Structure 1
Amino acid sequence: MERYCIKYSIERVDFRVLTFLPLQLGDLSMIKSSAEQFLAKETRLDVQWNNADVMVSPQGSKTKQGLELQIGVNNLGHFLFTWFLRPVLEATAKIAPRNSVRVIWVSSSAADAAPHPAIDFENMDYHREEGIWPKYSRSKAGSVIHSAEFARRTQGSGIVSIALNPGNFVANLQQNMSKMQLAMFKLATSHPKNGAYAELFAGVSSTITEKDNGGWVSPFGKVGPARKDLLDPELGRKHREWSEAQIRPFL
């Protein structure tokens, strides 16, 4: 099972501390504990980057709860973790500079390649099998849908929700690609630091304001429109309700 870490920095008057806390997104039963560990240490959260990801997992890969792995990690794990941290985000927004409290949902260029419709609510368990790339694309589209719906539901709270495409980079994320796929992928990649720039831009740039809430950042720090159908309020509502039903046993 994949493991991830919460990484966050704490700035005080004259020192910085980098702290790591365990977060296993592939097991919904463990996410509440990770959130509680963070909340036991901190009373504010200025920026949350939902960054962890699995990509083109082998057919049949599942989470601890039996969900398709990419939906479980890329969508539901982040959704549940954000659910627990929403109160501290809202509390921080009341005291932090305007537009500075944000939730960043890291998506991908793959979101634009998701099938139409992007979410097939009749096949969320993939009893009708799909290829590994459509599955990944659907999970990345799900990140955009979560971001837009979170923006709608927190409107007026001071939180800015942004989805983004960090760009294409070679990392261990491509470990499940074939050699030929990886060789072709490398033709369209840039240095990983550019992805960091895109994420930092979304998280801390003063040019992003409440008017960009629910918006989209493309490489390497450009605000623009996301795929239009992913921003549909009715799709966001249905996706949110499905997600809530999956996480309810773990609240």
Structure 2
Amino acid sequence: MLNRNMNQLFPPKPAFTDQNLSDQAERVFIITGGASGIGLELCKILYAANATIYIATRSSEKIATAIKTIKTLHPSSNGQLEPLILDLADLKTIKPAVENFLTKETRLDVLVHNAGVMMPPQGSKTAQGHELQIGTNALGPYLLTRCLGERLQATARLEAMPRGSVRVVWVASMISLGAPKGGVIWDDAKGAPKLSGDSMSDYMQGKVGCIFLADEFARRVEADGIISTSVNPGLVKTELQRHAPAAMRVLMGVVFKGPKYGAYSELFAACSPDVSAEKSGSYIIPWGRFGCIPEDIAEGMKPGSSGEKSLGKKFWDWCERETLSYP
């Protein structure tokens, strides 16, 4: 465990960066939370490589500012930057945003679930009444993926489309630190995750949920050649820590890297040729390497000895039930 943690806390320099990214012309990306932090850095890298990027967030003003910043940095790019207004903490905003996207694009090559929230004020809820972190970091991305599933599959079927080039990236965290045993505390009576009452623990439950969703989605789209991975972007300074206690923010400011490093982790998952179809379901660690999921969490991705559902499948089914009213 110690070696695994040290390997993620002090990773080697990134090997896959903007310097060796191939041209992304004609490829279409959706990046949630792309107006700031890691997402903004990822958008900068992809736009410089001529990609078409939909920056998905709830603030049109922030998207406009991000687009202006990116275009100023890369005036010679042949890429495109487009807004996609949605709020992952409000499920009813997701389908309209997807319908808007589908009227504009016939393909979707990569979906990156970068947006998230961490340690909000106690008792914070989504518009539908779910705990804010699990709702924003897991339920919202699940619904967005479900709504975009057919377009992802259609893109993977395009003539001459390389197998494994269509991808979904689920941003998790360093789950070996802070996650409860097993990753998610499950309430069998309710068939739902059980809140611990501790903000960081519930944050980690949601992030383990992302790993479960990445693994479950990988199984469902294996035949299509779509790759689904989860990513620990690394310890980086972003707006995500804005709700953390002051002392913790000071420590983070000293120890954490700039957001571009986290973007390299996500870039590896989204675009690296090393992430082959056989690697679908993998857990990516900083700054773009294959990592190992802790044993107790990996165990939750396996069916029980008597054939009962895995914890990961239970979490997937819970997400499906909670989002059925927002098809």
Aligned match of 1:21: 84
Q: Does 1:138 align with 2:205?
A: yes
Q: Unmatched 5+ residue regions in structure 1?
A: none
1:191-223 Cα shifts (integer Å, max 9, x gaps)? 211111111111000111011110011000101
SS state at 1:156 partner: helix
Over 3 Å counting, the alpha-carbon distance change for 1:151 and 1:199 in structure 2 is: same
Partner-residue secondary structure (3-state), 1:21: strand
Counterpart pick for 1:228 among 295, 303, 306: 295
Distance 1:47 1:129 in 2: 34
Query: Does residue 181 of structure 1 match 2:181?
Result: no
AA aligned to 2:169 is: I
Q: Give the TM-score of the pair, scaled to structure 2.
A: 0.71
Partners of 2:293 and 2:247 lie apart in 1 by: 30
For 1:243 and 1:170, locate their aligned partners in 2 and report how far apart those are by CA, in whole Å: 30
Aligned to 1:10: 52
Aligned twin of 2:180? 115
Matched residue type, 1:101: V
Q: Distance in 1 between matches of 2:255 and 2:294?
A: 21
1:120-148 CA-partner distances (Å, limit 9, x unpaired): 2327575x652111011111111111000
CA contact (8 A) 2:116 2:240 kept: yes
* 2:163 counterpart of 1:98: yes
**Aligned mates of 1:160, 1:125 — CA distance in 2:** 26
User: Which amino acid in structure 1 is aligned with residue 263 of structure 2?
Assistant: A
The count of residues paired between Structure 1 and Structure 2 equals 246
| Cα separation, 2, equivalents of 1:19 and 1:230 | 37
Partner of residue 191, structure 1: 258
| 1:16-165 aligned within 5 A | 16-95=79-158, 96-110=161-175, 112-122=177-187, 124=192, 129-165=196-232
User: 1:138 is matched by which residue type in structure 2?
Assistant: Q
Distance 1:245 1:235, change over 3 A: same
Label 1:229 to 1:159 Cα distance change in 2 as closer, same or farther (>3 A): farther
Q: CA deviation at 1:20?
A: 1.1
Distance 1:220 1:109 in 2: 12
1:129/1:239 CA distance change after superposition, 3 Å: closer
Counterpart of 1:183 in structure 2: which amino acid?
V
Amino acid at match of 2:52: I
In 2: Cα distance, 1:199 partner to 1:111 partner? 19
1:242 alignment partner in structure 2: 318
Kept in 1: contact 2:34–2:114 (CA 8 A) = no
CA contact (8 A) 2:153 2:226 kept: yes
Residue 214 of structure 1 aligns to a residue whose secondary structure is: coil
- Name the CA shift for 1:110/1:201 in 2 (closer, same or farther; >3 Å): same
Indicate the percent of aligned positions where both proteins have the same amino acid. 38
Shift of 1:85: 0.5
Q: Does the aligned pair in 2 maintain the 1:170–1:189 contact within 8 Å?
A: yes
TM-score (norm 1): 0.91
Larger Rg: 2
Structure 2 gap segments, 5+ residues each: 1-31, 36-42, 54-76, 303-309
SS in 2 for 1:100: coil
Shift of 1:149: 0.6
